[in-house]
A and B are shown apart, each in its own frame.
Chain A
Amino acid sequence: MIMRPDFINSDTATDEVVAKRAQPFDVEKIRGDFPILHQKVHGHPLAYLDNAATSQKPRPVIEALNYYYRSINANIHRGVHYLSEAATDAYEGARETVRGFINARSSREIVFTRGTTEAINLAAFAYGRKYLREGDEILISHMEHHSNIVPWQLLCEQTGARLRVIPINDQGEIIFEGFERLLTDRTRLVSIVHVSNSLGTINPVEEIIRTAHARNIPVLLDGAQAVPHKGVDVQALDCDFYAFSGHKMFGPTGIGVLYAKEALLEAMPPYQGGGDMIKSVSFEKTTFNDLPHKFEAGTPHIAGAVGLGKAAEYIQSVGYDTIEAHEHALLQYATDALSEIKPLRIVGTAEKKAAVISFVLENIHPHDVGTILDRQGIAVRTGHHCTQPVMARFGIPATSRASLALYNTMADIDRLVAGIHQVIKVFS
């Protein structure tokens, strides 16, 4: 039995405890958990509104990383010594935490990757190469991040399959009839973003999955922007693949997850070859390891996985209901306040939105907006947000994007609004 401090092996994330903790949201208490927020940038208190790019890390995550390296670092699996056992325990414990976090049936369905990008590449490579042939079609939407476009383009080049694109409307919503029209006998996979990083749109993934499954077409969801904001239950969704990153949900960079149904993973060939993904190797024949290790070649980002598990527990300890309510109020407040700025136009006005607000200012380039806001201590992202087809769809080169998280406040929004007025003043 390995003894570890409470923050590594805590069981505070069980459903019962979460239910008990359903208490009024104290944003200042939450902010107290994030050391990085309490600093000045260019002489102003930091207003961090770039959460869709990456989120900040709460103390339990930072401490878990620290503890891992200070106290239990070793290579995992097959070690007979104390530290290796402790590290393995922490790594596999994190997998179990992540399983519970998205309610997967089995931890065999949780493959650790470097992030969402690698998770999608894994699916494209292993699933796509096995099952796609010339003339087959893969369906994505017009609002995908480049990471849910390019892997499929590469696959299409290799297999002769075709990429088809579901259109979106002027609000930045999937045109459902367009989706249905594109589903054909040749469609082999639908790969859709759950929450758009540049528009904030929450896609009707339940209906998409239901519709695709009616034709026996599997569905991959890019959940990178969903998990920081809303609870995901892969069994309830019945998605076939679900990809997400640690760093967008308050965990470390360099770690992410590909969830896939066990039968799919069993049928898929390995993604990379190397150590840990094998049972036995000889020059004549190699036998691959069991799930999920078959897809985890080489020494993984052990500390990252531990940190990700801790981040999942942190989110559960706050509770998605609480997070969603807080962020919804922030989004409403920000949307109303920004809409009052005359030369400002919000890009992405879907009915169902996460707390992401892309906007353009008349005759002022987003890059200039970003620089002037930065000098006031306000961090936003400017550019195409790795969604160049979205920019093309709206006929703009770039946007400024304020993306919110559970630790943002109404005061942050007030700062943003005042900051934008300052931008307009500089240019007037």
Chain B
Amino acid sequence: MDELRELYQQIILDHNKNPKNFKKLEPHTHTAEGYNPLCGDRLNLYLNVHEGVIEDVGFEGSGCAISKASASVMTTAVKGKKLNEVQALFDIFQKVVKSDRGEPVDVDALGKLAVFAGVRDFPVRIKCATLAWHTLIAALKNRDEVVSTE
């Protein structure tokens, strides 16, 4: 049950219950839809990007606690960031959730994203955690298609 406590940390539960930036941005400069056919999670992400900086970000959708909290934490992590910093954050997040179970987590480098380290013990849930991030990259590339985790 320790793994469960690690997965469903209080911060994750809080973000699930009261997600940050849970809103549709109107107008917006970028948007994308993410979809996880495995569990039906759906996510619409909206961005306002000006002069290479994400000035505002919002999302809507329904999903499990992990996907919703991940989207919420992600919006707080990328808001105000330059576009070139976003890719680095994406890479860091991938590293957190896909690293081996025993590997120590570099909390300093990861910052608030470190709370998702518990996902490592639940391979089928990794896609829940990464959905928002893949949707973010798609939105920035202005791909006009639904991003699927499958």
A residues whose Cβ falls under 8 Å from a Cβ of B: 363-368, 371-372, 375, 382-384, 388, 391, 397-398, 426-427
User: Does B64 contact A368, Cβ atoms closer than 8 Å?
Assistant: yes
User: Does B4 contact A365, Cβ atoms closer than 8 Å?
Assistant: no
Question: What's the least CB distance linking B115 to chain A, in Å?
Answer: 15
Give Cα A372–Cα B7 distance, bound, in whole angstroms: 10
User: Does B40 contact A375, Cβ atoms closer than 8 Å?
Assistant: no
B residues whose Cβ falls under 8 Å from a Cβ of A: 1, 3-5, 7-8, 13, 17, 38-42, 62-66, 68, 122, 124-125, 128
User: Does B40 contact A368, Cβ atoms closer than 8 Å?
Assistant: no
User: Does B1 contact A375, Cβ atoms closer than 8 Å?
Assistant: yes
Give Cα A384–Cα B35 distance, bound, in whole angstroms: 14
Chain B residues with Cβ under 8 A from A383's Cβ?
38-40
Q: CB < 8 Å: which of B13, B39, B42, B124 contacts A427? A: B13
Question: What's the least CB distance linking B14 to chain A, in Å?
Answer: 11
Give Cα A388–Cα B5 distance, bound, in whole angstroms: 31
User: Does A391 contact B40, Cβ atoms closer than 8 Å?
Assistant: yes
User: Does A375 contact B65, Cβ atoms closer than 8 Å?
Assistant: no
Once A365-B64, A365-B65, A375-B4 are accepted as A-B contacts, the answer to whether A397 and B125 lie under 8 Å apart by CB is: no
Question: What's the least CB distance linking B22 to chain A, in Å?
Answer: 14
Once A365-B65, A367-B64, A371-B122 are accepted as A-B contacts, the answer to whether A426 and B4 lie under 8 Å apart by CB is: yes
Measured CB to CB, the nearest residue on chain B to A382 is B39
Question: What's the least CB distance linking B12 to chain A, in Å?
Answer: 10
Question: What's the least CB distance linking A384 to chain B, in Å?
Answer: 5
Once A383-B39, A383-B40, A397-B40 are accepted as A-B contacts, the answer to whether A365 and B13 lie under 8 Å apart by CB is: no
Measured CB to CB, the nearest residue on chain A to B39 is A367
User: Does B63 contact A371, Cβ atoms closer than 8 Å?
Assistant: no
Chain A residues with Cβ under 8 A from B38's Cβ?
383
Give Cα A427–Cα B122 distance, bound, in whole angstroms: 18
Q: CB < 8 Å: which of A364, A367, A372, A398 contacts B4? A: A372
Measured CB to CB, the nearest residue on chain B to A43 is B1
Question: What's the least CB distance linking A359 to chain B, in Å?
Answer: 16
Question: What's the least CB distance linking A275 to chain B, in Å?
Answer: 35
Interface centre among B40, B42, B66 (most CB of A within 10 A): B40
Give Cα A383–Cα B127 distance, bound, in whole angstroms: 14
Q: CB < 8 Å: which of B40, B65, B66 contacts A398? A: B40
Q: CB < 8 Å: which of B62, B122, B124 contacts A397? A: B62
User: Does A368 contact B65, Cβ atoms closer than 8 Å?
Assistant: yes
Chain B residues with Cβ under 8 A from A368's Cβ?
8, 64-66
Measured CB to CB, the nearest residue on chain A to B17 is A363
Q: CB < 8 Å: which of B5, B7, B40, B41 contacts A371? A: B7
User: Does B39 contact A426, Cβ atoms closer than 8 Å?
Assistant: no
Chain B residues with Cβ under 8 A from A391's Cβ?
40
6 sampled A-B residue pairs with Cβ under 8 A: A367-B39, A367-B128, A368-B65, A371-B124, A398-B39, A426-B8
Interface centre among A382, A384, A398 (most CB of B within 10 A): A398
Chain B residues with Cβ under 8 A from A371's Cβ?
4, 7, 122, 124-125
Interface centre among A365, A382, A427 (most CB of B within 10 A): A365
Give Cα A371–Cα B66 distance, bound, in whole angstroms: 11
Chain A residues with Cβ under 8 A from B122's Cβ?
371
User: Does A397 contact B4, Cβ atoms closer than 8 Å?
Assistant: no
User: Does A427 contact B8, Cβ atoms closer than 8 Å?
Assistant: yes
Q: What 4 A-B pairs are tightest by C-beta distance, nearest first? A: A367-B64, A365-B64, A397-B40, A367-B39
User: Does B63 contact A365, Cβ atoms closer than 8 Å?
Assistant: yes
Chain B residues with Cβ under 8 A from A398's Cβ?
39-40
Chain A residues with Cβ under 8 A from B64's Cβ?
365-368
Give Cα A170–Cα B63 distance, bound, in whole angstroms: 24
